[in-house]
Amino acid sequence: MQKSTKNSGAVIFQTSNIDSKIFVREQKGFFQRIRRSLGWILTILFMVIPFIQYQGEQAILFDLEVQKLNIFSMVLYPQDLFIFVLLLMFSAFALFFVSNKYGRIWCGYTCPQTIWTMMYLWVEHRVEGNRQAKMKLDKMPYGLKKVVTKVVKHTLWLLIAVITAAVFMSYFVPAHDLYLDLLTLKSSSLVNGWVIFFALCTYINAGWIREKMCEHMCPYSRFQSVMFNNNTKVIAYDVERGEQRGPRKINGEKPDHLGDCVDCNLCVQVCPVGIDIRNGLQYECISCGLCIDACDQTMDKFNYPRGLIKYSSINESANIEHANKKSINYAYALIMTIITVLSLLWIVNRSEFEVSVIKDRNVLYRETYDNLIENTFQMKIFNKSKHAAVFNVELEGLQHFIIADNQPIEVAPQERTIVMVTVLSPEDYQQKFTDFKFILHNSDGESELVTKTTFHGP
């Protein structure tokens, strides 16, 4: 593991080579209460949301079969993907904003990989015991005790993985039907296949890969350095106060040549990625705060002030005044505000109906027995709402033209209706082309659809 060097001008990321298995020590404390509370809240929301009902249907459902997304009363289709682009842009800039100010707290507190890994570690602690017991068990030759313990642990891991996969699938298959079919073994092979796939992903990621996902597979750990500056709050070890580190008696006097660090290595033992934060900031650090809680606990035992390891910026550690780096934060805030305004405008102006008109290209026009010019148009009306709609069709831009057999058009909810509309000219019509508009009025008076096209003549 490489040690860090002091540099007041930039954030330096150190690398660490971790080849041995990491045995994580269980730790409690202030930051862990925050992390666990957030983990519980997000996990419960993840499991409960598919059961929320709205007007007799699942409130949030990605229906891939018909390519639509139900969000309460709103139904989104592929042509509504612009709102997803805005949402992803907002999420990205929000992540940049948070990273610029507080480092990788997303990774340490709310990332699903971290939450499920900590969940699996909790099970491991309950089944195999504390860190020393786990290390002892790992070195033991395989016997009845070791096999039974490992089987129990991996069975619980697989159970959590299957439940996680089933919950995830309930966002794509109605939850009540999904769980009933899974419990009665009546689910389709497609659903079973996806449940098995997501269960294996959860089991492997949280149980086996763990920190390697954050170190080698997650792109966020790689580009995080671009977001950091000397005012970013990261987990930092106070070198001047802590060094020279060394053991001492709890109730004894601190030797003059030693700092506050008692070299207990608890900060290393509790770290889920196995780094030593005392060697400087390393890209593997996920800012989970476990080392802070462990160090504060040790400082309390020795009656030393807390904060030997804490969230701090480089400028704060070097007692440098807060540099004027707010422009980037203002830029992020401005971009997020613009995206929010665009999203609200899109939602307000979004129509639940779409209309398109295609001119009959086989016959541009026909002459009737009454010496009238006839054009036929194919009209497609798409009702994206959850209610039936009736439209009356009018013409704009064509004087004295009529629509043959003009009847109201009924469109079922979330259906596409295709009708043929025939437009007839007056007797004296001699123009070759005339642009006009179809105006469709919803019978409830709330929606008006307009589409342009061209009338062809001789």
State the pLDDT at residue 147: 95
State the pLDDT at residue 436: 94
Give pLDDT tens digits for 229-268.
Answer: 788 888 999 999 999 999 998 888 888 889 999 999 999 9
* Helix (H), strand (E) at residue 412: none
State the pLDDT at residue 438: 93
Task: Quote the distance between the C-alpha of residue 286 and its chain's center.
Answer: 18
- Residue 117's alpha-carbon distances to 95, 112, 143, 214, 355, in angstroms, are 21, 8, 27, 11, 49
pLDDT interval class at 65 (50, 70, 90) = confident
DSSP string, 22-51: P-PPP--SHHHHHHHHHHHHHHHHHHHGGG
Q: How far apart are CA 216 and CA 204, in angstroms?
A: 15
DSSP string, 322-373: --S-HHHHHHHHHHHHHHHHHHHHHHHH--SEEEEEEE-SS-S-EE-TTS-E
State the pLDDT at residue 317: 67
Its pTM stands at 0.81
State the pLDDT at residue 340: 92
Give pLDDT tens digits for 160-191.
Answer: 999 999 999 999 999 999 999 999 999 999 99
Task: Quote the distance between the C-alpha of residue 123 and its chain's center.
Answer: 26
Q: How far apart are CA 287 and CA 102, in angstroms?
A: 9
Q: How far apart are CA 211 and CA 444, in angstroms?
A: 57
Q: How far apart are CA 340 and CA 34, in angstroms?
A: 28
Look at residue 13 and tell me whether its pLDDT is greater than 50. no
Look at residue 359 and tell me whether its pLDDT is greater than 80. yes
**Helix (H/G/I), strand (E/B), else coil: 390:** strand
Give pLDDT tens digits for 20-56.
Answer: 788 999 999 999 999 999 999 999 999 999 999 988 8
**Helix (H/G/I), strand (E/B), else coil: 173:** coil
Helical packing angle, 112-128 and 131-139, nearest 10°: 70
Output the CA angle 182-185-186, nearest 5 degrees. Answer: 90
Go through the domains of the chain in sequence order and give each one's CATH number.
Answer: 30-76+111-209 (no CATH), 353-456 (2.60.40.10)
Q: Which residues contact 381 (CB under 8 A, 6 or more apart)?
A: 353, 354, 355, 391, 409, 411, 416, 417, 418, 419, 440, 449
Residues facing 54 on adjacent strands: 57
Higher local confidence (pLDDT), 224 or 236: 236
What is the number of residues in the chain?
A: 458
Task: Quote the distance between the C-alpha of residue 326 and its chain's center.
Answer: 27
Give pLDDT tens digits for 328-358.
Answer: 778 888 999 999 999 999 888 888 888 999 9
State the pLDDT at residue 324: 52
**Helix (H/G/I), strand (E/B), else coil: 73:** coil
Q: How far apart are CA 263 and CA 247, in angstroms?
A: 6
pLDDT interval class at 304 (50, 70, 90) = very high
State the pLDDT at residue 348: 84
Give pLDDT tens digits for 105-134.
Answer: 888 999 999 999 999 999 999 999 999 999
Give the mean pLDDT of the chain: 87
* Helix (H), strand (E) at residue 157: helix 144-169
DSSP string, 256-320: TT--S-----HHHHT-TT---GGG--BTT-----HHHHHHHHHHHHTTPPS-SEEEE-HHHHTT-
